[in-house]
Structure 1
Amino acid sequence: MTLRLGFEFPSGLPKWRANLNTSIASLRRKRMSHVEMLERRGYRLLDILGSGSHAKVDGVVKVYMAEFIADNLCQRPMACKLVDMEKAPRNYVVKFLPKELEILRRIKHPHIIETYSIIQWNKRYVCTFMQLAEKGDLLDFILENGAVSENQMRVWFRQITLAVQYMHTLEIVHRDLKCENILITAKCNVKVSDFGFARSILDDHGSTILSDTFCGSLCYIAPEVLKGLPYNPKISDMWGLGVILFVALNCAMPFRKFSQIKKMYEAQMSYDWAFRSKISDELSSQVKSLVKKLLEPDLNKRLGVQQILNSKWIAMNPKCLILSKREKSALEKAEEEITKIKAKKPTTDDVA
């Protein structure tokens, strides 16, 4: 069966095709069953790119570079996330993985990593093929190049915020926004990725519900999550955006990596963070004000997505205030979809 995904054929074979090492051959010998199955469907696994956030057991979640083969020709490379459900923690398989797959099937936005296909087989493996971000993630970019310039970060932060706005419109929250989950494409655009902790926050009656799951990465987790009480995950996503912006501009975390949650919480609540003096002198007052309003422990004062997009800092580049056709179309479709979903859900009175 030939599968058409709309890729362009490259003019020549990529360099990495000529440099496959023996570990790939070893991988294929050990896992011939699922490798053969994928190749029958036109997919070929290549180098291992990394491990997923749930890879608490070796081999549970692995991310590969892959390629789609059609008519014996190599198409554009992609990324492949392979989950071994037999080795994965039961909590992940039962609670998080089904939500992630459901969300990946629903979302499509120019600033969210695109999912091409999801393949499940033998009740053991789940394989998600998605867009390859050629320049890696934002954290690696910062570690290699230093702090991101304010002008560049304005463009990237707008893209990230638009992706979050789209998700929140669909009543979906990410709950693990961090630099490692912001990927950079060959054209230097950023894409939000990794929806392992994402979930819908609508109940069976169409009402929004709070979260009570402690999830995410400690350095990016909002104080209300650390507190251990039910929280509004949309507001908590805003904290994650604030940490991303701070790290990108400052090339350092806002809060030291405390091993104790209590100390981290106390630092967050007391505004115990500051830009490095050398960096602070070069930053505009508008971006410093925006970071302060995002790393705000008072939930009633923390900014929302629309306030970010309408902020004075974003407005410093007038082009950032205008939605592209694809951005506008994605948001309108999300608004239409959520309206239909809420209309179909029974109200409390209907159930009674």
Structure 2
Amino acid sequence: MIEKRSHMGGNIYCENIDSINVHKYGAHIFHTSNKEVWQFVNSFVEFNRFTNSPLANYKGILYNLPFNMNTFNKLWGVNTPQQAKEKLEEQRGRFAHIIEPQNLEEQALKLCGEDVYYTFIKEYTEKQWGRSATELPAFIIQRIPFRFTYDNNYFNDDYQGIPKGGYNKLIEGLIDGIEIRLNTNYFENKAELDNLADKILFTGRIDEFFDYEFGALEYRGLFFEHERLDIEDFQGNAVVNYNERNVPYTRIIEHKHFEFGRQPFTVITREYPGEFANDNEPYYPVNDQKNTQIYLKYKEKAESNGKLLLGGRLAQYAYFDMDDTVEASLSLAKKEFGIF
């Protein structure tokens, strides 16, 4: 296993800061409805019962996410599901004339109306992607989930939680007995490393693997600012989104809440979106038409290479959750090696 960083685990790596497991590359909350996947990860480490219930801060007011009756009660003052549905339909009705949305803004207004859009979606999305909502493609928002119950559980999956003791426990179980080279750049040692293998499972940037033959694929970057504070609790919740454009970060993570910590201090992380450049890490693929066409050329070339296997967000140029990645890995192992 080849890793260019000084540690294993990729973006789920946790840095232990005075007994708090800090998600160094952003919050990772494991959730799945696939029982096989859940049993597989729990075979390495027991998961706790953490339930993701994020908040959204807009102009100093905190709203519950996902959009549910708690959200609608604070936004509109409605108390019942029927009242909320009527208000939502009234707001959507103002944009019924939009038949074929031409951009994200039109799509979102058609799906949710103006209050939800301008409070929760517009500024946050523009900050995340670094461009106007009218310049973003409509397909980014396929649907907007609404819940007409007082339920703040963000995920609908059967299982969710955080590894007890942090994700490094899961990493250690997964790599047990495997030869590992840290601080090693695959491309600087490619000829030597390729000669060691019958198959190569590549999880880096597919355009970099082929030396950008068809052009560079676009990504959005993320930047993290970690801070230890000598207070017991900073925000009372693991995740708080900041929807306003003039707040430079998209969210603040308070890590102790992932594992129900009771330390007299805390560690927070501010998460900033930004442009990707080769001297930082790519996080989100820009899956527009231009980039998809480029990726398909790389995919076709990869498939013609009998030694090469692709895995993960960067190599497959798609957004995957952790459970998607585990499920794909298990399927690949079954196909290639007949195990699991």
Question: TM range, normalised to the smaller chain?
Answer: under 0.3
TM-score w.r.t. length of structure 2: 0.21
Bigger relative contact order, structure 1 or 2, given CA contacts below 8 A and separation 6+?
2
Of Structure 1 and Structure 2, the greater helix share is in 1
- TM-score normalized by the length of structure 1: 0.21
